[in-house]
Chains A and B, each alone.
Chain A
């Protein structure tokens, strides 16, 4: 087949294609529904969830969810060649920096012994296992949507997809988690989200190639 023939065939294909954002908007709610259904079936919200959401502990839900939005903006830029992603990636950096500053504030206030006490709870292991598990359907949907884009940096984009999925699943998991100490929540949630990020960076080059 000559190149001119190929061009004629390509030009005849005028079916409109959904954009990456449209695919994301379609697949993410489905994946979120799967995650939430699994959460209700196997975890379930803590008893005092109403009071928790009215207190400062609501940040456990809100901040990870915000990460979904912040990382999502970067992921979309990374899937569109010619779109600048560096400024959006910097916003993720600012977000992470703010979390680290908050962690250091509490660490200086309560000391290392406070950190050890906060983290020596069985719920730590539950958190580190639950968040990646709840994040898997989300990571699948996000990577599938991004794979229809044109990703030029697959490992970085996979990691950003992991941040999105980890943030959303940590937000879901927070309804179950009944430990509200900052010195527990910040390191535990950050580590759990980073696990999902690592999985994303690991599978990105395979899933996002084109």
Chain B
């Protein structure tokens, strides 16, 4: 995390990938009535929050309590908001936990809606890192922007995404 805050992309990605399975289990354990893709939406909320609030971790303090505090806040928030419209079908009980999950259980639905709400260029930049796995330089070259502009645009887009998701929950 320390490396991540100081701009080490590979270390940061590694960290996020390492904590995601743990967070996913936490979310799924709390949200048995929500269905797998709603759980994945909540998980993505938590990851976005960890990202946008990473500067509130005190570098000399242990990381784990901080991570759990952020995750707990977001999970409680998400379930409180979604609790009003929890979709529980009878089939869910019939299928039980062993039932095969949907086509892609790791696909969140909300994120696509939110990306469509961004302006097209910002959404394109977020997608180019996520779906295409491009580097900053490649994205910059393809969109005819400077690398610095791509970085700023990505930063703003992620911040807007976090705010949009926040507003959607309200």
Contacts and interface: CB of A to CB of B under 8 A. Distances in A.
A7 B47 contact: yes
B9 interface: yes
Contacts of B28: none
B112 interface: yes
A122 interface: no
A141 B73 CA distance: 24
Contact of B106 (A3, A18, A149, A150): A3
Interface in A1-27: 1-20
Interface residues of B, number: 55
Give the secondary structure class of A's interface. Answer: loop
A6 B61 contact: no
Contact of B9 (A12, A80, A210): A12
Interface in B91-123: 104, 106-108, 111-112, 115
Nearest to A77: B58
A97 B62 CA distance: 34
Contacts of B135: 12
A1 B131 contact: yes
B69 interface: yes
Contacts of A9: 126-127, 129-130, 154, 158
Interface string B35-53: 0000010011001110111
A5 B161 CA distance: 14
B5 A16 contact: yes
B7 A11 contact: no
Residue of B6, B49, B133 most packed against chain A (CB within 10 A): B133
A7 B155 contact: no
Nearest to A21: B55
A83 interface: yes
Contacts of A81: 56-57, 65-66, 69-70, 73
Contacts of A115: none
B15 to A, nearest CB: 9
A150 B68 CA distance: 12
B65 to A, nearest CB: 5
B152 interface: yes
Contacts of B7: 14, 16
Nearest to A15: B155
A38 to B, nearest CB: 31
B82 interface: no
Interface in A156-210: 209-210
A110 B65 CA distance: 52
B87 interface: no
Residue of B10, B47, B55, B69 most packed against chain A (CB within 10 A): B55
Given A1-B115, A11-B12, A12-B129, A17 B54 contact: yes
Contacts of A152: 69, 73
A3 B20 contact: yes
Given A3-B106, A3-B108, A149-B53, A83 B61 contact: yes
A153 B3 CA distance: 29
Residue of A2, A7, A152 most packed against chain B (CB within 10 A): A7
Interface of B: 4-10, 12-13, 16-17, 20, 24, 40, 43-44, 47-49, 51-58, 61-62, 65-66, 69-70, 73, 104, 106-108, 111-112, 115, 126-127, 129-131, 133, 135-136, 151-152, 154-155, 158, 166
19 contacts: A1-B108, A2-B107, A2-B108, A2-B130, A4-B17, A8-B133, A9-B158, A10-B47, A11-B4, A11-B129, A13-B51, A13-B151, A14-B7, A14-B8, A15-B151, A19-B55, A80-B58, A82-B57, A82-B62
